Structure 1
Amino acid sequence: MKNDPTSNASGLTRRAWLQKVSMPALAVAGASTLPTVAQAASAHSKGDQPGLFNIRHYGARGDGSTNDTQAVQRTIDACHQQRGGIVLVPAGDYLCGTLELKSNVTLHLAVSGRLLGSPRREDYQAPAAIPPGNGNVVFIYAANADNISIEGPGTIDGDGIHFNNGKGDNTGPGGSIKTGNFDRPHLVIFYRCRHIRIEDSFFTRSAYHCFRILECQQINIHGIRIYNRVNRNNDGFHFNSSQYIHISDCDVACQDDGCALFGSNQFVTVNNCTFSTRWSIFRFGAGEAKNITVSNCIIYDTYGCPIKIGAGKSRIENLLFSNIVMEHVTGPIGIGFNAGDNNDTFVRNISFHHIRASLVPKPVNHPDIPFDVKPFDGEQNSCITLNGVGNSYLEDISFNDVQVIAAGGGTAAQAAKEVPAVSAEYFGVWGTAPVGAVAYGLYARNVKGLTLQHVRLTYRETDVRPAVVLDHVSDAAILSLSIQGHPEATALRFINCRDILCTATRLLSPAAVFLQAEGDQCSNIIIEGGDHHKAKQTTLGKLEAIIIK
């Protein structure tokens, strides 16, 4: 207790003190058990216990129709001026516009306490303290503040359906941000804040992103629920250039990116969470992303690539994804890298361990999203994609104990397709006719140091594409790979690959050819052991490059 930074002079932690005070009584507006504002401020100033500031005592009505913005803001300001404490949102619907959280303020949402976003645009501000990128109109924000908390079982509800005009921000593939819809409030923005804690609350119906956490440090998010599906670009978490981020035990259902990490995000852990969205879950953009782990998560009903790493002039390294279940997804993992002439960039040391992925042929609409989202052509028959372009190479990429059940349906035309030299999002890579990927399991181009260990690739419907296509891959170890074949197709296709060791590989069903080697640069491809008797022909192509032991 002595080392608990939230403990007070009386020896009680803030949580223990809240439990000691009757929470049902706290939830009742104007309850007689609550201390007066003067008493709370006085008690806090003496250091006996944290100050408690009830928004009802500052004039908030909580009837769902009166604009309570000024009353709630007065409460936050009073709490901040008294060197911090707890701002209590008791039971009720408190209609508000833009609110600013400040240093040392804990916003406690009691059971049935709800901050409800105003449907009127004029009630919201675009604070000068928040940079305008992706819009800075906001419901609740803090800038350059320390020690901020949002907690409790209540709700922050943006009621963002009123801002659905049919337009998104056009930041996606093929869009033009010049005509994008940015004039709508995000639910929560933190900018250049430190020591942020968000716990137990429900966040829903934002008009734009749910959380934007920009250039912040020490962020702890635990046990919250996000349901954000009333508008386009309804992200869950959106981080930009933040450090020491820890997310655990959260449930996120949104329309756009579930957990976007753009810019230089470092020292990040995500564990024990569930995610669902129309687009991606873990999305990485340009910047310096490193030292990030994601574990023990379930991803379901997600399209547009659950794990999507797009890199141009970036430095991305030390990303670990483990113990992840993907159910009903497309394009489960996609990495694209095109550094151009920039030699100071890299994508390396990325591992995927203990993954179970079940794929669907193409995206379908979520019944609770109030508009249709037309699938891209390239989202059909998708696969895992590792895509280095030009002179850009991915380095040290590993898959261990990975099982992918593809939907199947791939055609010979798709298998013969030449992959365009672009590093767009995976459905952009595959988006030129004929649609779909060249492999049903894994396509890898320009990779140095690839490990596939205890990987199993199968499909539900007939598929004549190879299970794995490697294109300009070197220094690869393929250990205990089990793949499903097709009687008229090649199971493994290697194009200009060298120094590849295949050990204990298994062909699960008949195939025309187990391994086909193509290109003048193919060399030192070793097949050691395994079971390939179901193939009509073990090898094909540049046979002098293949060594069978």
Structure 2
Amino acid sequence: MINIKDFGAIGDGTTLSTASIQQAIDACAEQGGGTVLIPAGSFLTGTLMLRSYVELHLAPAARLLSSMEEADFVAPEGEAGQFLSEGQGNKALLCARHAVNIAVTGLGTIDGRGEQFLEPEDEGSDTVLKIIREFRPKLIDLEGCVNVVFRDVPLYHASSWGMHMTGCRQVTVTGVKILGQVRGPNNDGIDPDSCQDVHISNCHIETGDDCIVVKATKYGAERYGACENITVTNCTLQSHDSAIKIGTETHGDIRNITVSNCVIRNSNRGVGIWVRDGATMENMLFSNLFIETRLFSNEEDTNRRHGGWWGKSEPIFMTAERRNKPDAPAPGKIRNIRFDQLLIESEGGMFIGGSPESIIEGITIRNVKQTMRVKSGYPGGVFDTQPSDRGIFPHPVPAMYLNYAKDVALSDVEIHWQGEPNRHWTQALAAEDVEDLRVRSFRGTAAKPDVSALEMTRVTGLRLSDSTALPETEVYLTLEETELSRLELERNDLSAAAVPVRKLD
């Protein structure tokens, strides 16, 4: 074990110790590997390069403090900066390029001092804070590394992304606490980008932007291929954006993703899946999740640069449509996605929306109890598919909404409305332009008496079975422009509805 103090590092929080810490890391690598100890104290540093076969270990009272000066940060060779926005570049506090067998461990803190990059907090506001420094380094940036371990280390107040991994393989992130800035833009937690075999477990993450983002950027996909074989389990997540986000950058395929046994609280979106850049997103399993979402901005705020947050309290969100760019390619495909065992409390509804050129296929949602309730006081009444041509647009809000989808199965789903309803809430389930929709054991009423519990518009191949109309239901099922030749109603009890089925031409 090598102690950074033996190389002259000073833990007074004001003396720049980058050179001393880097010398300790390099010396450890030159002797064949080992452990570099960050002892008790606050060590101010710029960019540090991790080396193969070296573990950086932070003692419980240790703190790595990010420098505030851009001159103290360097862009490593093999950089992945050109695809990032907001002027972030690829400069970071901890970096590694094509290293093997590296680790960052311990209960000490890596402190990005991100609060000093933003205007002061205004207590009680949900609005994104204004950036007051152009330069915002990431905390951790890895590229092309193999056999990477992050264990137990708290990551505190990143000024932009917390942990970005491009083209890495065999990555384990466990027991890590990410305490970001809940009103900080681009304040992601963990971003596996064109990575393979990534395991994220037992983490607690609070961020302004997305907690965990699985993506395939143009840079990453061209060099490292698909992002695949990603597992997330036993995590607690809180975000002003999406707790779990797949996309939006989809220049390479994203597949074989599992998320299980997670608690998502006080977030704008629970699980979000975007395809925008022509890839295929497939084979994803989400199970045993508690999801609590709420609104965090007015619709007019969201359209302003850094004025609000993407999302409208959707516990599940899927979208397949073109970006809002003149030369945008066809979005790509979403298929073979399954959700099971979900407890949901939300202010907005589930949204699964494809487009005429990209039909979402093979979706299963089962064993769900979803309770809709007002929490924030924001008005709602809009859908938000950013980044897209439509962006944010007014729309009634069903508890579950399906659009341009095929081969969809909903089973054992309960919809409940709690307290005073939002005036924009409507059906328990609304579907438009859907083919082969199977609904079994569905229980739920409309949010208001003048709409039906279930509304199907241009639905081909509807099978409704083993479902029950609850007392005080005015109209249970409305069919509009729906082919009766492929309609199957089996073993339903619709006797409590004043109008069991209504057909509109």
Q: TM-score range by the shorter chain?
A: 0.7 to 0.9
SS at match of 2:110: strand
Give the Cα separation in 1 of the matches to 2:357 and 2:78: 41
1:397 partner letter: I
* Cα offset, 1:233, TM superposition: 1.3
Give the Cα separation in 2 of the matches to 1:352 and 1:214: 28
2:280 partner letter: R
Give the Cα separation in 1 of the matches to 2:138 and 2:432: 42
Determine the structure 1 residue equivalent to 2:432.
471
CA contact (8 A) 1:389 1:423 kept: no
Do residues 402 (structure 1) and 368 (structure 2) align? yes
- Cα offsets for 1:39-73 (capped at 9, x unmatched): xxxxxxxxxxxxx1110111111111111111100
Question: What is the TM-score with the length of structure 2 in the denominator?
Answer: 0.83
Do residues 140 (structure 1) and 94 (structure 2) align? yes
Do residues 442 (structure 1) and 400 (structure 2) align? yes
Determine the structure 2 residue equivalent to 1:35.
none
Determine the structure 2 residue equivalent to 1:309.
273
Determine the structure 1 residue equivalent to 2:477.
515
* Cα offset, 1:357, TM superposition: 0.9
Q: Where do 5+ consecutive residues of structure 2 fail to align?
A: 121-130, 217-225, 295-312
1:84 partner letter: G
How many pairs are equivalent? 447
CA contact (8 A) 1:267 1:290 kept: yes
Q: Where do 5+ consecutive residues of structure 1 fail to align?
A: 1-51, 167-178, 361-381, 544-549
1:116–1:181 distance in 2 versus 1, CA, 3 Å: closer
Give the Cα separation in 1 of the matches to 2:334 and 2:207: 28
Equivalences for residues 75-474 of structure 1 within 5 A? 75-132=24-81, 133-134=83-84, 135-164=89-118, 183-229=135-181, 231-263=184-216, 264-285=226-247, 286=250, 287-303=252-268, 305-312=269-276, 313-329=278-294, 330-338=313-321, 345-360=332-347, 382-407=348-373, 424=386, 431-433=392-394, 437-460=395-418, 461-462=420-421, 465-474=426-435
Larger RCO (CA within 8 A; separation ≥ 6): 2
| Structure number, greater radius of gyration | 1
* Cα offset, 1:432, TM superposition: 2.1
* Cα offset, 1:282, TM superposition: 1.4
Tell which deviates more after alignment, 331-340 or 254-263: 331-340
* Cα offset, 1:275, TM superposition: 0.4
- Cα offsets for 1:494-513 (capped at 9, x unmatched): 01112111111122342321
Determine the structure 1 residue equivalent to 2:461.
499
Give the Cα separation in 1 of the matches to 2:185 and 2:229: 30
SS at match of 2:23: helix
Determine the structure 2 residue equivalent to 1:171.
none
1:257–1:250 distance in 2 versus 1, CA, 3 Å: same
- Cα offsets for 1:340-395 (capped at 9, x unmatched): 997894211101100111013xxxxxxxxxxxxxxxxxxxxx21111111232111
Determine the structure 2 residue equivalent to 1:45.
none
1:257 partner letter: D
Question: What is the TM-score with the length of structure 1 in the denominator?
Answer: 0.77
Give the Cα separation in 1 of the matches to 2:399 and 2:387: 17
CA contact (8 A) 2:385 2:391 kept: no
Give the Cα separation in 1 of the matches to 2:150 and 2:189: 14
1:344–1:442 distance in 2 versus 1, CA, 3 Å: closer
- Cα offsets for 1:245-274 (capped at 9, x unmatched): 001100001110100111132001000000
SS at match of 1:306: strand
CA contact (8 A) 1:314 1:339 kept: no
* Cα offset, 1:128, TM superposition: 3.5
* Cα offset, 1:542, TM superposition: 4.8
Determine the structure 1 residue equivalent to 2:502.
540
1:259–1:522 distance in 2 versus 1, CA, 3 Å: farther
* Cα offset, 1:323, TM superposition: 0.3
Equivalences for residues 472-491 of structure 1 within 5 A? 472-485=433-446, 486-491=448-453
Give the Cα separation in 2 of the matches to 1:321 and 1:181: 38
SS at match of 2:26: helix
CA contact (8 A) 1:406 1:440 kept: no
Give the Cα separation in 1 of the matches to 2:319 and 2:185: 25
Determine the structure 1 residue equivalent to 2:493.
531
CA contact (8 A) 1:164 1:232 kept: no
CA contact (8 A) 1:481 1:506 kept: yes
Equivalences for residues 52-71 of structure 1 within 5 A? 52-71=1-20
1:337–1:523 distance in 2 versus 1, CA, 3 Å: farther
1:332–1:534 distance in 2 versus 1, CA, 3 Å: same
Give the Cα separation in 2 of the matches to 1:148 and 1:284: 26
CA contact (8 A) 1:484 1:491 kept: yes
SS at match of 1:502: strand
Bigger proportion of residues as strand: 2
